[in-house]
Amino acid sequence: MADNNQNPHECPDTGHEWDGIRELTNPPPRWWSIALYLSGLLVLVYFILYPSLPLINDSTKGILGWTMIKEYKEDLAKVEARRAPFEDKLAEMSAQEILEDEELRNYAIGSSKVLYGDNCAACHGTGGIPNEGAGYPILADDDWLYGGSIETIMETLASGRQGMMPAHRAMLTDEEVDGLVQFVVNSSNGEATEAGWQLYNSKGCVACHGADAKGVRQMGSANLTDRIWRFSGEPDEIRHTILHGVNDASNPETRVAVMPGWNEKLAVKLDAQKWDEEPEYDGTETERLSETDIKKLAVYVHQLGGGE
């Protein structure tokens, strides 16, 4: 009311009054009126320059021709142009060569953060540490079910993994199950007894988990002598795994532990390379991630857990 110096008791009012407060007819301050008119003009200018009014199937374009999608695509093109020299180099190099090149290794790790977040973090967690008891391997340690070489990690990403442990509920007595549960607990603490080893060997556990109970990488079997648990180290959870197995289709209570393959075409290629053969494709292979993406993720995972 700075522009109106009239005595409020002498100003006309609208006849409205609330709690003793009269509504006067004084005009608003001049600066406020000017700001109101300028804001209206600004809206009009915006309508002319930018997309604004919705139509049935589209909207007005504006004389500048600007859209958020257009700006996004322009910015993306700039990013891709900046990345192109690195991506071209990665496409021609092996994962091992990328590891040995500091500049490209750093680029692969940096550019894989989004790839990992979009495709891996849902199971393996941020930073390679899944929720406790989730049943997904930790990627941020140096304990590897199938091996931690860069080539093996690539194979895992491309082909996927699906280990298998048969359910033993029909093969073991309650007493034997209790003994094996105790053996696993004791082994993880470095306190396995002779009786435990005898039971372990006599019930065939040695065939999959090895003579030293440290697992067999070709099979992806767990190391029973450390304190790293795929599912849980609680006795009841160990008992459940022994009784119902892992990925045992004959048991409805089995634990499910499957990693999908992310590039079947690359998986065929990697498999053929083992035997110095030409890869044979049948045309149905899927490529959820490109070969270059697989390489970058392999480098990323390798550095997460001290790969071999």
165 is in an annotated binding site: yes
In a 13 Å sphere around the CA of 34, the CA atoms on its Cβ side amount to: 3
Q: Is the dihedral of CA 143, 144, 149, 150 positive or negative?
A: negative
* Of 36, 101, 48, 120, the residue nearest 297 (C-alpha): 120
SS3 16: strand
209 is in an annotated binding site: yes
Radius of gyration of the chain (CA): 33
Q: Which long-range contacts (CB under 8 A, 24 or more apart) does 213-222 make?
A: 213/187, 215/145, 217/144, 217/145, 217/146, 217/147, 218/146, 219/163, 220/145, 220/146, 220/161, 220/163, 221/145, 221/163, 221/165, 222/145
DSSP-assigned beta bridge partners for residue 17? 22
In a 13 Å sphere around the CA of 64, the CA atoms on its Cβ side amount to: 13
Provide the 10 A C-beta neighbour count for residue 197.
17
User: Residue 52, Cα to own-chain centre: how many angstroms?
Assistant: 38
120 is in an annotated binding site: yes
Specify the residue for token string 């045992």.
Answer: 248
208 is in an annotated binding site: yes
11 is in an annotated binding site: no
| Torsional class of 213: left (φ above 0), alpha (ψ -120 to 50), beta (otherwise) | left
Which residues define the annotated binding site for heme c?
120, 123-124, 165, 205, 208-209, 259
Which residues define the annotated binding site?
120, 123-124, 165, 205, 208-209, 259
